[in-house]
Chains A and B, each alone.
Chain A
Amino acid sequence: MKVRNLSSNRSDKVEIPMTPMIDIVFQLLVFFIMTFQIVAQEGDFNIRMPLAAMSEGPPPIDQLPPMVVRMQADSQGNLAQISLNQRPMGVSMQRLHDEIRQVIGDDRGPGSVQETAEVELDCDYHLRYEHVIEAITAVSGYLDGSGNIVRLAEKIKFAPPRAAP
């Protein structure tokens, strides 16, 4: 009788071909590396633009008159002058921010100045849009030390558009 050499059979490893798997894995890796791109986060600023019919009614009694931020542009569309309630303050967004922060204060909650305060942006037609976003950023809040957003004016609207030059 022929006896099988069991011990030699046991030590034989079954070789799985790794090459195709590694090929595919590397192709996948290359695909993901090529298509990967870091996209900057985007966020929205809500603005109140009620329809004309709705705005005809009388404003609520506790509604403060809006703070009017007038932004004038030079011929290139750059910011030339900012005024808050007709008070000129150069081109400093920081100054605008400080003024708004002073008006709104630290009071928060229902019925607070922060809740009822409204800002109206009155901009020149050819002002570059990035200055509008800068102004909205200045009036709508700031980041505290830990990176959280502290809200200031939440009701922001545009004044009727000015005519094109």
Chain B
Amino acid sequence: MRIKKKSSEVVGGDMTPMIDMTFQLIAFFMVLINFTQAEQDDRIVLPDSELAKPPDGPLEYPITLHLTKEGTVIIGGEEIPISGLQPYLSREANVLRIRGRPLSDATIVIRGHKDARTGRVQELIKECQSSNFEKFALRAKEDVGN
């Protein structure tokens, strides 16, 4: 009887299309990935607004304050009461003075929780005004549903 000789060759599929696709996927995710989440905090749910569009250019000197639902401010991961904000604001004001820039260059960006009380937002603004800050921006999330 004749026995067939087994072939020792490995049948290799063409990997090129798969590698091409994988590299394209990696490129896609690399372009879209956003590591800059320093300004965001999970405890804050921003209110929606259809007019909340990203600005054309970055703010000159933004100081971001997160106002929680309970009315406290998050700085460096810690919640502090609005009345305890003065040391932080003084520090920011000193940094601006050292750089030789007026306080009017700074913009206080308020990221308020949507269920926070308006009175607390106004207290926060008043506290910043007492440190001579005068430019404010209320941050909202783009409402894509409308």
Cβ contact within 8 Å between A49 and B125 = yes
Interface residues of A in 89-140 (CB under 8 A from B): 123-134, 136-137, 140
Q: Which of B22-30, B72-80, B86-94 contacts A (4 or more CB under 8 A)?
A: B22-30
Say if the beta carbon of A20 comes within 8 Å of chain B.
no
Interface secondary structure of B, over-half rule:
mixed
Say if the beta carbon of A59 comes within 8 Å of chain B.
no
Q: Which residue of A lies closest to B117 (CB)?
A: A126
Cβ contact within 8 Å between B140 and A28 = no
- B interface size (C-beta, 8 A): 51
* Complex CA distance for A35 and B33, rounded to whole angstroms: 8
* Complex CA distance for A141 and B29, rounded to whole angstroms: 35
Determine how close the nearest CB of chain B comes to the CB of A151; give it in whole angstroms: 9
Determine how close the nearest CB of chain B comes to the CB of A87; give it in whole angstroms: 21
Say if the beta carbon of B17 comes within 8 Å of chain A.
no
Q: Given A25-B23, A42-B52, A128-B115, do A133 and B136 touch, yes or no (CB 8 Å)?
A: no
Q: Which residues of B contact A21 (CB under 8 A)?
A: 19
Q: Given A25-B23, A49-B125, do A124 and B118 touch, yes or no (CB 8 Å)?
A: yes
Q: Which residues of B contact A36 (CB under 8 A)?
A: 29, 32-33
Q: Which residue of A lies closest to B140 (CB)?
A: A133
Say if the beta carbon of B132 comes within 8 Å of chain A.
yes
Say if the beta carbon of A18 comes within 8 Å of chain B.
yes
Q: Which residue of A lies closest to B135 (CB)?
A: A46
* Complex CA distance for A144 and B53, rounded to whole angstroms: 14
Say if the beta carbon of A60 comes within 8 Å of chain B.
no
Q: Which residues of A contact B (CB under 8 A)?
A: 18, 21-22, 25-26, 28-29, 32-33, 35-37, 39-47, 49-52, 54, 71, 77, 123-134, 136-137, 140-143, 149, 158, 161-162, 164
21 A-B residue pairs with Cβ-Cβ distance under 8 Å, sorted by A, are A28-B26, A32-B33, A35-B33, A36-B32, A37-B34, A43-B140, A44-B109, A49-B136, A51-B134, A71-B118, A123-B122, A125-B118, A126-B118, A130-B47, A132-B118, A132-B138, A133-B47, A136-B138, A137-B51, A149-B53, A158-B122
Q: Which residues of B contact A (CB under 8 A)?
A: 15, 19, 22-23, 25-26, 29-30, 32-34, 37, 40, 46-55, 59, 67, 109, 112-119, 121-123, 125-126, 129, 132, 134-142, 144
